[in-house]
A and B are shown apart, each in its own frame.
Chain A
């Protein structure tokens, strides 16, 4: 029973354009959300997070949006760069971390 879902397994974007990665969750008790980035043969690394009391958090080219009523969060990358090509996992937590299945982003030069 997947509590955090990423319905797009893959996404391709031209360099310089916006990448939008989406994530849906089912548990309204989640109070903290994170995005992780993973390169092949490496562990996931933390990218950006947002508390449930906010609806937006920005860090350089990365912005996370949270829509609690829709139980939806998204990660925007602007502008996208080839080095952003990786698998992105969203995660939600209350007492435990629950991860989505990941979206593989390819940024085409």
Chain B
């Protein structure tokens, strides 16, 4: 079902802690993305990566960090610097350069407790 997997589905974090969300794809896609979804605000781009060992900030990168050491994996770390981290996080992958369909993972719902 799309070949892109996010884990865990639900995640709880204490204030002041860093937490890492996993995103893995077996679609052989070079481009990968992280979006944050809040009610009424659509999908906002956090970070994106065109190729291994390269990534760029999106519109709301502050308080987040990523890595792209392998083509298949694009983990997102929500740091303690992110003041309002409670949200639904979606990872997506896409063939770059061709304006084609982006495939989404099933999402991770992060809650700060």
The answer to whether A and B interact is: no
